[in-house]
Structure 1
Amino acid sequence: MAKDLLLEIGLEEVPARFLRAAMNQLLDKTVKWLDDSRLAHGDAKVFATPRRLAVWVKDVAEKQEDITEDVKGPSRKIAQDESGNWSKAALGFARSQGVDPANFTFREVGGVEYIYAQKSSIGTSTESIVADALHQIITSMSFPKNMRWGDHDFRFVRPIRWMVALWGHDVIDFEITGVKTGRTTRGHRFLGTETEIAEPTLYMEALREQHVIADVEERQAMISAQIAHLAADKNWHIDVKEDLLEEVLFLVETPTVLYGTFDPAFLNIPQEVLITSMREHQRYFPVLDSEGQLLPFFVTVRNGNDRALDVIAKGNEKVLRARLSDAKFFYEEDQKLKIADAVAKLDNIVFHEEIGTLGEKVRRVRQIADQLGAALNVSPAQATTISRTAEIAKFDLVTQMVYEFPELQGVMGEDYARKAGESEEVARAIFEHYQPRFSGDSAPASLTGSIISIAEKIDTIVACFSIGIIPTGSQDPYALRRQAAGIVQILLERELPLTLEQIFDITLNIHQNLRNMKRSSDIIRIDLNEFFGLRVKKLLSETLRYDVVDAVLSAGFSHIGSVVARGNDLMKAVQEVPDFKLTIESFERVSNLAAKSAGHTVNAALFSEAGERDLYAVWESVTGNYNSLMNHNKTGEALTLLATLRPAITAFFDHIMVMVDDEAVRENRLALLAAIDRDVKRFADFSKLVK
């Protein structure tokens, strides 16, 4: 008869950021053990609060499934001698499988006979293995940070204070760090008491009676519903960020939403500062009006019931007042700092001991940005704006506000620069040069912000690559992948006619002139191409077939807009154009023979056959317009024009022998195919397409 299984690990308060991963890990380990142990079971559900991790599995079988399997042994030729006696190899196989050689059978596989043994395994009872299994599950769990307690060598996320382990009505006996399993759990630290769990099905209700909502989804639904009710009642927009909601979710066992107020005089501070202070320090949700402007209220979630909420609100208001007073002080003090003095202080901050200071980085970024602007032929006024922005873009890193809230870098720089009299474009670009900050974030809206963002990001990447810091596996401490993806996003969305090759050359030359690099520019350039190639491949793979991605990448990806456009147009042709397969095959035939060309130029006077003269004439009529379209990134029209070569290519191969004895004729025909192939390969390597 199947029984339900329950395991609860009672702990001291676990950091909220660890709990989601911990509960999923507990669920995965438990289900994996059941499946690996051949124990049939029903649905499994996992629970987590600040003081517990638990898993409940329905209908766990009383014993493992019996299994019978056929195991393949050595071939008959090896297993028996000429007299039919079993060899040492056969006898060894019998011992390893625990079977009698007399029970061997023979089967033919691939024309060869092999011996087979039928091996049976009788399942053991769940009761005999479950205690050791649960002990192993708990002790094998891993966390970002572990701790020891008492005189125990065992490490866990937080000290274990109680454990519940039940199989049906029965307690599963085992012990960890002196804590023995039982059926007694603990309720809310202040509102609840200890209570006993008679059986797993009663777990959630027993805890509910002790003011603990163990089900994470139920707890989240309660918080969301209460916030929505409050917002509707007050006609507010309560700004609920998913990451903060996730954190609050794992800070409470019984959630009760309440609100408080703060002095409207604080609204003179930029609302980003107030919102950040509320979220980061107090875990409060800000309240906005219909225009998105901050109101002098906050919403928080209490770990408890609705008793004396007015007292709780006043306590939160008092704490917030102190926090906002600090923010006001920092804000006012920062404005006394001159931008030039702040920039000078960057020379005292080390970016990396092998790369230099932030001041040195800023000077490199300014040079990179200046040269990128020149490559884009910006106006003199625009060039001045770019240079000034690059010079002061990092000044807010030495302010007290950014020291307190690093996530406000750029936000405070924009505000302080505007108040210091900088132009609106410079102030805005200081904020924008950090964009995109994360996957899904917007690219800079202005040209100045885009150029500074590219310059700042490529400087970091090249600097790190120059000392051997290149992301591998999951290791990327300087977020270089994100920064490379940001550069790709900016080039694409802003449609900047810059190539990656230009950006690499400008940056490498500046680094080479200003600092001693441990690695050569040529080696770094190879690494940069590979690194950015992977970022571009990831971008294309989100919407295109893998073979289309490989085909267009083979033709080059330095111009991001071009490779994306080529990928989209080729994908459309493959899916929608009738007989496009024949076009692909014709380009492949050209490519196969073009590889044999010695690199000669085409000499029309050597053409003697109609087929080669016709192909040459069609190609001459196409190549100029085709390359012009490619230069202007009109890739759809370019592909359509390129496809018009197919009939002439087909006729050429139907009537012309390329590899003739006459060397001059042969090389001329190969030169024609090579010229066509160069045009084709500018678009894609069609041989990589799956037909």
Structure 2
Amino acid sequence: MSAELFLEIGTEEIPAGFLPRATADLKRLLGKELNGARLPHGEMRTFATPRRIAIAIADVADHQERQEVTLSGPPVSAAFDGDGNPTKAAIGFAKKNGVEVDQLQRITTDKGEYLFISQVLEGRPTAELLPEMLPRVIGAIPFQKSMRWKDLDVRFARPMHWIVALYGGQTVPFGFGSLASGNTSYGHRFLAPGPFTVGGLDDYLAQTEKAYVIADAGRRKAMIAEQVARIAAEEKGELLEDEELLEEVTNLVEYPVALAGSFEEKYLELPRELLITTMREHQRYFSLVDAKGKLLPRFITVSNNRVDDPAVVVQGNERVIRPRLSDAMFFYEKDQKVPLESRLEALKNVVYQAKLGTSFEKVERFRTLALGLARQFEP
């Protein structure tokens, strides 16, 4: 017999960059535990949002597989005296393993003849193993940075608020920090913050979606891609493809809602890369271009909230990006007033590396190398 194993760890907002590795590590660690415990299982699926990490494993055996083990004992020469009577070595080995001396077997190896015994270890029920296994797995998930909370002797990426642990629809009881596992999860922090009961993976996915949480990161990513592409078309533009930004935004929201905003055309005078970087790195905005690839004074943001009046959210984002672009324009114009060549002298006061001199000396070395390469490739 087998059943589904489901685990969800509910937390405060985990940084987007932590989630892909965390889900991979959870899958690896739990798979290693199950395999080490001789528990066959089926497909493993992981789920993650900023406030939860979850895994579902199909067809986990309800009992450990039986295991036949061979236990080596003392050499025959030390196990019996000259009259063939068992010595303390043989008697002790038999007693230790719960058998009589006449049940011991002999095996010939390169080192001589030894006593041994074969035993079949009966497996333990999975329901007994999981309460030991799951807290061990949770505590072993590595993060770039982890934290403690309250006065607890446990660490995680962010403080935990709940744990759902089910095997065959029944709660797997264990504690982690100050939390006790159960069958209760929670919805979107703003749209549906209340609790709901989980019965298994299918029920979990249905319940979380009702509570405005798209737990499947792949589905959430597809939703965002579809929304931003549709809005780009509505804005008479084309989306500037950015897979890395799409991945990051996917892990910043639980319920994505894409919205379009605008900024003053005067900021289009900024270099393309500077304008894109300012919107991308500071605000996680997608950029829009026209048919010729020229940037448009528009952007797309992905909100983690569904509101009655989206214009309020758009206006808020427009207010935020305006000073960002203003700063970019200010520093760009300031930099243009000073020729790049004039900054070389200042590099003499910047130590590049204690044993490698200043940044000016590094530039000179690069210049010499570049001239040498240019001569080699000169037609």
TM-score of the aligned structures, taking structure 2 as reference length: 0.90
For 1:354 and 1:377, how far apart are their aligned partners in 2? 31
For 1:286 and 1:326, how far apart are their aligned partners in 2? 19
Residues 63, 210 of structure 1: alpha-carbon distance in 2 compared, 3 angstrom cutoff: same
What does residue 199 of structure 1 align with?
Answer: 199
Residues 93, 222 of structure 1: alpha-carbon distance in 2 compared, 3 angstrom cutoff: farther
For 1:91 and 1:341, how far apart are their aligned partners in 2? 90
In structure 2, give the amino acid aligned to 1:303.
Answer: N
For structure 1, the residue ranges without an aligned partner over 5 or more in a row are 380-691
Greater radius of gyration (CA):
1
Residues 293, 151 of structure 1: alpha-carbon distance in 2 compared, 3 angstrom cutoff: same
1:171 correspondence with 2:171: yes
Alpha-carbon distance, 1:245 to partner: 1.2
In structure 1, give the amino acid aligned to 2:48.
Answer: A
What does residue 153 of structure 1 align with?
Answer: 153
What does residue 255 of structure 2 align with?
Answer: 254
CA contact (8 A) 2:185 2:198 kept: no
What does residue 300 of structure 2 align with?
Answer: 299
Task: Write the deviation string for residues 303-334 of structure 1: whole angstroms up to 9, x where unpaired.
Answer: 13364222222221221121111111111010
For 2:31 and 2:265, how far apart are their aligned partners in 1? 53
Aligned residues: 378
What does residue 357 of structure 1 align with?
Answer: 358
For 2:333 and 2:98, how far apart are their aligned partners in 1? 82
What does residue 5 of structure 1 align with?
Answer: 5
What does residue 70 of structure 1 align with?
Answer: 70
Alpha-carbon distance, 1:158 to partner: 0.7
For 1:171 and 1:377, how far apart are their aligned partners in 2? 70
In structure 2, give the amino acid aligned to 1:261.
Answer: S
Alpha-carbon distance, 1:111 to partner: 10
Alpha-carbon distance, 1:144 to partner: 0.6
In structure 2, give the amino acid aligned to 1:313.
Answer: V
CA contact (8 A) 1:186 1:193 kept: yes
CA contact (8 A) 1:256 1:306 kept: no
Residues 230, 93 of structure 1: alpha-carbon distance in 2 compared, 3 angstrom cutoff: farther
What does residue 320 of structure 2 align with?
Answer: 319
What does residue 537 of structure 1 align with?
Answer: none
1:223 correspondence with 2:224: yes
In structure 2, give the amino acid aligned to 1:254.
Answer: Y
What does residue 45 of structure 1 align with?
Answer: 45
In structure 2, give the amino acid aligned to 1:140.
Answer: A
For structure 2, the residue ranges without an aligned partner over 5 or more in a row are none
Alpha-carbon distance, 1:196 to partner: 2.5
CA contact (8 A) 2:6 2:57 kept: yes
Residues 97, 322 of structure 1: alpha-carbon distance in 2 compared, 3 angstrom cutoff: farther
What does residue 106 of structure 1 align with?
Answer: 106
Alpha-carbon distance, 1:214 to partner: 0.6
What does residue 273 of structure 1 align with?
Answer: 274
What does residue 333 of structure 2 align with?
Answer: 332
CA contact (8 A) 1:184 1:194 kept: no
Residues 76, 277 of structure 1: alpha-carbon distance in 2 compared, 3 angstrom cutoff: same
What secondary structure is seen at the aligned counterpart in 2 of 1:7? strand
What does residue 288 of structure 1 align with?
Answer: 289
For 1:99 and 1:49, how far apart are their aligned partners in 2? 55
What does residue 348 of structure 2 align with?
Answer: 347
The one of the two structures with greater contact order (alpha-carbon pairs below 8 A, sep at least 6) is 2
CA contact (8 A) 2:147 2:156 kept: yes
1:119 correspondence with 2:119: yes
Alpha-carbon distance, 1:152 to partner: 2.4
In structure 2, give the amino acid aligned to 1:348.
Answer: N
What secondary structure is seen at the aligned counterpart in 1 of 2:69? strand
**Which protein has the bigger strand share?**
2
In structure 2, give the amino acid aligned to 1:245.
Answer: L
Residues 237, 207 of structure 1: alpha-carbon distance in 2 compared, 3 angstrom cutoff: same
Residues 320, 66 of structure 1: alpha-carbon distance in 2 compared, 3 angstrom cutoff: same
Residues 74, 191 of structure 1: alpha-carbon distance in 2 compared, 3 angstrom cutoff: same
Alpha-carbon distance, 1:378 to partner: 5.1
What secondary structure is seen at the aligned counterpart in 2 of 1:41? coil
Any residues of structure 2 matched to 1:130-145 within 5 Å, and which? 130-145=130-145
* Root mean square deviation, CA, Å: 2.5
For 1:111 and 1:174, how far apart are their aligned partners in 2? 48
In structure 1, give the amino acid aligned to 2:175.
Answer: E
What secondary structure is seen at the aligned counterpart in 2 of 1:190? coil
For 2:298 and 2:127, how far apart are their aligned partners in 1? 56
In structure 2, give the amino acid aligned to 1:333.
Answer: K
CA contact (8 A) 2:152 2:178 kept: no
Task: Write the deviation string for residues 59-109 of structure 1: whole angstroms up to 9, x where unpaired.
Answer: 323322222233455554555454334455555554565544322233455
Alpha-carbon distance, 1:141 to partner: 1.8
What secondary structure is seen at the aligned counterpart in 2 of 1:182? coil
- What percentage of aligned pairs have identical amino acids? 41
CA contact (8 A) 2:350 2:358 kept: yes
Alpha-carbon distance, 1:238 to partner: 0.9
For 1:352 and 1:92, how far apart are their aligned partners in 2? 67
Task: Write the deviation string for residues 177-222 of structure 1: whole angstroms up to 9, x where unpaired.
Answer: 3222222211101001323324113111111110001111111121
For 2:26 and 2:247, how far apart are their aligned partners in 1? 19
